[in-house]
Structure formats: C-alpha cells, structure tokens
Amino acid sequence: MAVPYFDYPTRYAGWAEDVLDAVREVGESDEFILKSRVAALEAAVAQRTGAAEAIAVASGTGALTVILTAMGIGPGDDVVTPAFSFISSASTVALRGARPVFADVDYDTAMLTAATVEAVRTTASRALVPAYLFASSPDMPALRALADRHSMRLIEDSAVALGGRVAGRPAGRYGDAGLYSFFPGKPLGGIGDAGMIVTDDPELATTCRMLRNHGQDLKVRFLHHLVGFNSRMDEVTALFLLRRLPHLDKFLTERRRLARQYNDLLREAAPVVLTPPGDLAEQAVYTYVVRAPQRDDLRSYLAGRGIETKVYYPRPLHLQPAFRHLGHGPGDFPVAERLSRECLALPLHPELPAGTVERVVEEIARFYRQGA
Ligand SMILES: Cc1ncc(COP(=O)(O)O)c(C=O)c1O
C-alpha cells in the first residue's frame, strides 16, 4: 500500500460537509472578504493565544510582510534570520529593501540560538526573526531577552506552531508580533492560503489592519493613509477554519502520539537515524523530520517501496540563488548546510492509517541493514 506524505483526499472526506456548508453559507450571504466570519476567527485566535489583537491576512508570508512594513523595517536595516528556514523568513525582509543577516542554527533543534544570533548581529540589526520548524521551537525566552538587550524588534515566525507552547507560553506570543499560517499542510490547515498576525501592541495592530487592505482608513473607504497590500482573508476560509479550530488540540495530540511512536521505534530499530529531541509535550508537531545518513539514497529506497517523504529544506537560504547578492558561499553556515543534506520528513498527519509508522520504520531499518 502506497503511503503518501500528505493525504488531503482522506482529510477532505471527513470535512466535506463543512467545506460545502461554508461555501453555501457565504455564497448566499453578501459578505465575501474581511467581514463577520473573519472577525469571528480573529476573536477566536486572540482568545486561544491570549493575544490582545489578532489580524487575519492572506498567508503566513503576508503576515511577515505586513508586520515588517508596519514596523518600518526598510533600506539600511539589518534583520537577523535563520540560514535554515522556509524562504519567507528572509525573502520578506529583502522585499522591504532591508538586509537579511543569516545566523546558523543548532544541529539538534534546527533553531537559531542566542549564541548564533550574537555571532552575526550588527549595529544596524533592527529586528530578529526566529522561525519554528518541524517539531522544534526556538528558545524564545532567551531570544526575547536578547532582543530587549539590543533594542531589536522581535518577529516570531511561528507560522507552523499554532497550538504549541514554549516554557508554558503559547508559540507566537513572545514576539512584538507573532504569526500563524493556515496553509493546508499545517496542523490546523485550511482549504487554501491564509494567515494570522497576533500582537499585544494596539498601535502595531492598527497599522497591520490598514496595511493588509491597501493602507486604507479603517472607517472611510478609499482614504489611504499608507501604501499597503492586498493581504486579506476571505469569508469561506475563515468559516472553515472557525469550524476546525475547536479540533486543533485533538489534531495536535494525535500528531504528538505518532511522533513519539516514530521516536520509540526508530531509536530501537534504526539508531543511526537521529530523531527530534525533547519529549514534544509542548510542540505543535508540524512535520516529523529526522537526520539521516545517506539521506538521498534512503529517500529513493523508501520511494521505491511506495513511501513518500519530503526534504525540508534541500538548500539553506544563504546558498539560494535569490540571495546571491549577499555574497555567501559554502561553509558560511555549516550546521544549516549539514541539515540540508541530512533532514528527511516522514509521513505524519492525523489521518495516517494504523500500522503506517511501524511499516515506515521497518523499511528504514531494512535500508540500513542492507547497506551495512
Ligand atoms: C517558517 C515558515 N515561515 C513562513 C511560512 C509562510 O507561510 P505561508 O505558506 O502561509 O505563506 C512558512 C510556510 O511554510 C514557514 O514554514
């Protein structure tokens, strides 16, 4: 039996009525974008995270763009961001005309640390953008303290981490602003692109609300105080997410259960594969990523047995052609480079059929036995 990495059709089968209801309800209303259902989702996310304000936007990337713009980050500013991350944590900085200053990450967690940030920080560093990945969280209390010490704005790229916690506080709530993505693969997962900004700063929130909708006054239409964006959420997406949000803890519990099962079985059957550190109790397990010797051969072997895997991320950001102008080369961020050679994401989602984790681990163990 084939094991797809994502299994959207199976998920859809369980949510089809909700999707169709949402389309019908919104279609029969005269509210399509940034109306009552979006406001209800904002209120629900604010309540869940304890944020004073939640601002719905079109995607996690849109959230980063709007936050950086609202903070006035631009030409002449440096922004410290991980060399190993999704492109958005750096591309949004570059699009503001600011300079992404890459920092290396910790090998076990794949996260920025206070030490790696200190190693690259410049006097022009106005902001810090730590990113959550996989089933890992940055040490946010330490990074908050570091940002305060150096008067840097802290933008918490918690795109993948809604529902997770760090030292008891919700992921996304250490930054001057945090954000969540509702891309379908994320633990909450919508039916398209969507995102959310959270902050306790009322002034920042108001600026974000204006910027997401062309910089318009929040009362008077076609009065533009700022040059803004179209980064708006639609009502169908908001209604569907409102229906899924009460189930988030259940999804996360199942994701953690599967991750722990992988951990236990892999440590026993294939100890050469390095599993995610920690007990995962506070993590919003998004992807289950191991560090594997002979990663590409293992991946081909698994594909040959019908097991689909993914590589997040095959090339670190400092070696991306898009950032060639920053002048980096191989060896600049050795941990990021090593992780991009070793990381492999195994199938993990709440719809995974029983017995799948056992089967994937068996095949991984067989691959290393054959190679030995
Ligand atoms: C760390 C990180 N930041 C930002 C984003 C961007 O979110 P979106 O895909 O909703 O634009 C992602 C998406 O995968 C991400 O993993």
DSSP string, 246-296: GGHHHHHHHHHHHHHHHHHHHHHH-TTSBPPPS--TT-----EEEE-TTHH
Q: Which tokens is 23 given? A: 């389309």
179 DSSP assignment: E
Cα of 39 from ligand 1 centre, angstroms: 22
- In the chain, DSSP finds a helix count (H) and a strand count (E) of 12, 11
- Provide the pLDDT for residue 151: 98
Pocket test for ligand 1, best of 160, 162, 311 (most atoms within 8 A of CB): 160
Q: Is the CB of 193 under 6 A from ligand 1?
A: yes
- Residue 164 sits at the vertex; the CA angle it makes with 162 and 170, to the nearest 5 degrees, is 85
Inter-CA distances, 135 with 111, 255, 364, Å:
11, 10, 20
For tokens 């305060």, the residue is 148
Specify the pLDDT at position 371: 79
Q: Which atom of ligand 1 is nearest to the CA of 133?
A: 1
Vertex 225: Cα angle to 93 and 197 (nearest 5): 45
Whether the CB-CB separation of 63 and 178 falls below 8 Å is answered with no
pLDDT score, position 1: 82
Ligand 1 near 88 CB (within 6 A): yes
Q: Does ligand 1 lie within 6 Å of residue 234's CB atom? A: no
For residue 256, CA distances in Å to 79, 157, 281 come to: 33, 21, 7
pLDDT at 279: 87
With beta carbons less than 8 A apart as the criterion, state whether 180 and 194 touch. Answer: no
What sign results for the dihedral spanned by CA atoms 276, 281, 282, 286?
positive
Distance of alpha carbon 237 from the chain centroid: 18
Task: Give residue 158 CA to ligand 1 midpoint distance, Å.
Answer: 9
Domain locations in the chain as residue ranges: 8-246, 247-371
Atom of ligand 1 nearest to the CA of 88: 4
| Rounded distance from Cα 270 to ligand 1 centre (Å) | 31
Cα separation, 165 vs 183, in Å, equals: 20
State the sign of the Cα–Cα–Cα–Cα dihedral 133, 137, 140, 142: negative
Ligand 1 lined by 289 (C-beta under 6 Å): no
Mutate to test the pocket of ligand 1, among 84, 86, 157 (most ligand atoms within 8 A of CB): 86
174 Cβ closer than 6 Å to some ligand 1 atom: no
Asked if residue 195 has its Cβ within 6 Å of ligand 1, the reply is: yes
Res 37: pLDDT: 98
Would the CB of 61 count as within 6 Å of ligand 1? yes
Residue 62 to residue 48: CA distance in whole angstroms: 21
Q: So what's the pLDDT on residue 47? A: 98
Tokens 């191989």 locate to 330
Query: 8-246 with 247-371: one CATH topology?
Result: no
Between the CA of 230 and the centroid of ligand 1 the distance, in Å, is 18
Residue nearest to atom 7 of ligand 1 (CA): 60
247-371: CATH class: alpha beta
The residues, ordered by sequence, that sit 6+ positions from 23 with a Cβ below 8 Å of its Cβ are 236
Residue nearest to ligand 1 atom 8, measured at CA: 60
Helix or strand or coil: residue 197? strand
Q: Which of 195, 153, 151, 138 is nearest to 68 (CA)?
A: 153
| CB of 143 shorter than 6 A to ligand 1 | no
Atom of ligand 1 nearest to the CA of 61: 11
Ligand 1 mean position, distance from CA 195 (Å): 9
Q: Residue 353's pLDDT is what?
A: 95
Give CA torsion, residues 241, 230, 321, 325, to 10 deg. -130
Query: Mean pLDDT by 10-residue block, N- to C-terminus, for the chain (372 residues)?
Result: 92 94 96 98 98 98 98 98 98 98 98 98 97 97 98 98 98 98 95 97 98 98 98 98 98 98 98 95 97 98 98 98 98 98 97 96 97 66
Check: CATH 3.30.379.10 for 8-246?
no
Determine the pLDDT at residue 372. 52
Quickly list H helices, the chain.
Answer: 8-28, 36-49, 60-70, 88-95, 114-120, 140-149, 202-211, 235-244, 248-269, 295-304, 334-342, 356-371
- C-alpha 370/C-alpha 22 separation (Å) is 51
